[in-house]
Every structure is written in C-alpha cells, then in structure tokens.
Chain A
Amino acid sequence: AQSVSQHNHHVILSEAASLELGCNYSYGGTVNLFWYVQYPGQHLQLLLKYFSGDPLVKGIKGFEAEFIKSKFSFNLRKPSVQWSDTAEYFCAVTPDLFKAAGNKLTFGGGTRVLVKP
C-alpha cells in the first residue's frame, strides 16, 4: 500500500516570501502525483498534477512542483506568496493504473500555510 508524508504541519510566512512544501511518498510502482489546496471555507481543489514527462509541472496561481523519482518526492513551490495563498495544502498519490477499480487517492496529512500581509 502507498503512503504519503508531508514534513511540515504548519508554515507561517510573510507576503512575497518563497514557499516550499515537502512531500514524500512510498510506493513500489509508477505513481501519479497531485497537490490539492483547500482555501478557508472552500472545498478541495486540484492545484497541479504529474503523470509523466517533464518532472517540473506548473499549476494554477503560480505554483509549481518537481517530481524527483530517486527521492520519491514531489515538493510544491511558489516563488512569491500572497495573502490569498493562505490555505491547507495536501499532497496525494495514486498508482498509475488504468483499471476499473478506480484511482483512489492516498493523501498526506496536509500543511496549513498562513501568509501574513
């Protein structure tokens, strides 16, 4: 079974600071990787995803993530955060399978990010 760990539970930073959130996964096969974001009072939304190809993927709102296969990592980055980036961020993984049983996501524990204005 796969597992996902996110290293930081809480991050506090000021506007314009750079953000990097760590994510490591454990799985013996090929995986698809995701970052989801949950803004206060809103539902989970997909931020970006990696399936194959260029390991540096760009998502919405200036976020990017880099897949490093040798480290089993998929860290999320943003060069300059804004107050509106205050949210909880979840890394998730699913096996790269195209099967009828579906593609259940395994999530990390989440990182709460507070951006001070």
Chain B
Amino acid sequence: GAGVSQSPRYKVAKRGQDVALRCDPISGHVSLFWYQQALGQGPEFLTYFQNEAQLDKSGLPSDRFFAERPEGSVSTLKIQRTQQEDSAVYLCASSLAPGSYNEQFFGPGTRLTVL
C-alpha cells in the first residue's frame, strides 16, 4: 500500500498478557518511529529505528516494552505483562531518511485497551 499500515487496529488484553503490535512502513523508508498516545494527550516518542538499528529507545517507559525491526522494514512493538496504564493508541511513523527535514508519515495506530 501507499501508506503506513498497522495491525491490529484494536487490541483488548487482560492485565498481565503479552501483546505484539505490527507496523508496516512505507516501502523504502529508512526511519521508523513508535509513539504512544494516551487518551486526551499528544503522541509521545517511544523509540526510533534507522533501518534495522534501534538508535534511540529513550522513550520506552519500562523494560516491559521491546521493539524490533530485524530486516529494516516491518517493525514490532511488544509489551510484556500489560498493565492498565499501557492502555493507549500506539502510533507508528516512517520517513524516507534521517533528519528533521524528512516528513514523518503516520499510520492509523493500534488502540490497546488493557482490562
């Protein structure tokens, strides 16, 4: 497809379950970002990949959060032992190249609800 896609679009998990969220960036895009958007707030940065290298994971809130992009295209954000405070929309964005002059294109997000 032409844009960034994410799956699933909605995920309901019981507290303590592990979840995996997938992001398919625009083909050929080098940079990939994950953001977390809590209800009523703006997106907050989680982690950044340049190709397969995770260059910045300063925004991951705890060691329960793990992201990977093994082949430099599709990325997965994994949350272990989910907690209620993990409920949010998880956004993926990609850009053609590193650097702030390259527009980030956002996917539709995955809405995670932890019961």
C-alpha gap A63/B35 in the complex (Å): 25
Enumerate chain B residues within 8 angstroms of A102, measured Cβ to Cβ: 31, 33, 48, 50, 55-56, 98
| Interface positions of B from 69 to 115, Cβ below 8 Å from A | 91, 93, 95, 98-104, 106-109
* A104 with B56: CB separation less than 8 A: yes
- B42 near A94: Cβ-Cβ < 8 Å: no
Contacts of B55 in A (CB 8 A): 100-102
B8 is an interface residue with CB less than 8 A from chain A: no
Q: Which residues of B contact A105 (CB under 8 A)?
A: 33, 35, 43, 45, 104
Within the complex, which residue of A4, A51, A108, A109 is in contact with B101, where a contact is CB–CB below 8 Å?
A51
Contacts of B62 in A (CB 8 A): none
Measured in the bound complex, the distance between the Cα atoms of B55 and A108 in whole Å is: 24
Whether A90 and B43, one on each chain, are in contact in the complex, defined by CB atoms closer than 8 angstroms, is: yes
Q: How far is the CA of A49 from the CA of B104 in the complex (A)?
A: 11
The answer to whether A104 and B45 have CB atoms under 8 Å apart is yes
**B59 at interface (Cβ–Cβ under 8 A)?**
yes
* Contact flag A103-B91 (CB < 8 Å), given A43-B106, A90-B42: no
11 A-B pairs (CB sep. < 8 Å)? A43-B91, A43-B106, A43-B109, A94-B100, A99-B99, A101-B48, A101-B56, A105-B45, A105-B104, A108-B42, A110-B40
Give residues in B with beta carbon < 8 Å to A.
Answer: 3-4, 31, 33, 35, 40-45, 48, 50, 55-56, 59, 91, 93, 95, 98-104, 106-109
Other than A100-B50, A101-B56, give 17 A-B pairs with Cβ distance below 8 A.
A32-B101, A43-B91, A44-B43, A44-B93, A44-B106, A51-B100, A90-B42, A97-B99, A100-B55, A101-B98, A102-B33, A103-B98, A104-B45, A104-B56, A105-B45, A107-B43, A107-B44
The 9 closest A-B pairs by CB, nearest first: A107-B42, A103-B100, A44-B106, A102-B48, A104-B45, A98-B99, A32-B100, A94-B100, A43-B108
